[in-house]
């Protein structure tokens, strides 16, 4: 069975709640499609107004982060129940910016992934290598390690529903998109790693996105690769161009 594409926007720390409503109203007709899942991962404070604005459309509203505890003395964090209470079904976990600026590790990523599944939220699990790692030829080893730790104690049934975003750090926000070959090579290696951890059926079911300077120009070729099931899009998700990315065919 062919995997359904999933195209997600990562708004990062952009858009006030009123700007969010305006952007969703602009993008709503442009991202209409029956061929792919469309997700807008927005800042926590934008989630509720974004949900309202997206009502009746094919846009799913997701979160950019979530904590791995149920509740309590964790000032500033958002709990899984806070997300599910308002209908959030997707959450980005372990984005490289969270790893770089907010000290997230493969271990905290794993805790968050387990917690997301416990609450029925689909994690969009990020992995990716630095430029140094790529130049030193350790990309695949590095990504395999990230994946193996992220999926520790995750069942095959859960893994089948997960989304992995392969995002080479050197391609994020730089305008330097990975070549189609580079992106496909790593996404295929991720699928092989999932097959090793679980089995063929799980590897065939899991969806793997490419992220890093995806644009309307680069999306068609990237998304046509056998192991690339869509994209995680930053900068271009804030523009009408996102409509072209979603309707890349």
Q: Which residues bind ligand PGA (CB under 6 A)?
A: 10, 167, 172-173, 211-214, 232-236
Q: Are strands 207-211 and 59-63 parallel, antiparallel or unpaired?
A: unpaired
CA of residue 24 relative to chain centroid, distance? 19
Residues 63, 92 contacting (CB under 8 angstroms): yes
Structure tokens given for 177: 């998109």
Element (H, E) at 245: helix 241-246
Tell me the three-class secondary structure of 160-174, residue by residue.
HHCEEEECCHHHCCC
Rg of the chain, C-alpha, whole Å? 17
> Which residue among 64, 104, 129, 167 is the active-site one?
167
CA distance 92 to 70: 18
Tokens standing for residue 160 = 């089948």
Using the structure block, give the residue that is written with the tokens 């061929």.
Answer: 35
Q: Shortest Cβ distance from residue 153 to ligand PGA (Å)?
A: 26
Q: How far apart are CA 238 and CA 146, in angstroms?
A: 28
In the complex, the smallest distance separating the C-beta of residue 201 from ligand PGA, rounded to whole angstroms, is 28
- From 52, 69, 95, 118, active-site residue: 95
Please say if 167 is a catalytic residue: yes
How far the first Cα of the chain sits from its last, in Å, is: 19
- Active site members: 95, 167
């Amino acid at each position: 069975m062919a995997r359904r594409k999933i195209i997600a926007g990562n708004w990062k720390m952009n858009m006030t709640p009123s700007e969010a409503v305006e952007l969703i109203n602009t993008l709503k007709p442009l991202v209409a499609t029956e061929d792919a899942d469309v997700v807008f991962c927005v800042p926590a404070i934008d989630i509720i107004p974004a949900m309202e604005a997206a009502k009746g459309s094919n846009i799913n509203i997701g979160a950019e982060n979530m904590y791995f505890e149920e509740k309590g003395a964790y000032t500033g964090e958002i709990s899984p129940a806070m997300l599910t209470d308002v209908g959030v079904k997707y959450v980005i976990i372990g984005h490289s910016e969270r790893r770089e600026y907010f000290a997230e590790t493969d271990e905290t990523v794993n805790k968050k992934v387990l917690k997301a599944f416990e609450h029925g939220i689909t994690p969009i699990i990020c992995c990716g290598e630095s430029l140094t790692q790529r130049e030193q030829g350790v990309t695949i080893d590095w990504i395999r390690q990230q994946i193996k730790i992220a999926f520790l104690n995750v069942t095959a049934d859960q893994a089948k529903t997960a989304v992995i975003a392969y995002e080479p750090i050197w391609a994020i926000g730089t305008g330097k998109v990975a070549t189609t070959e580079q992106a496909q090579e790593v996404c295929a290696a991720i699928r092989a790693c999932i097959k090793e951890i679980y089995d063929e059926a799980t590897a065939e079911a899991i969806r793997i996105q490419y992220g890093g300077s995806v644009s309307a120009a680069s999306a068609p070729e990237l998304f046509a690769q056998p192991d690339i099931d869509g994209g995680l899009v930053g900068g271009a998700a804030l523009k009408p161009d996102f409509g072209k990315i979603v309707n890349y065919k």
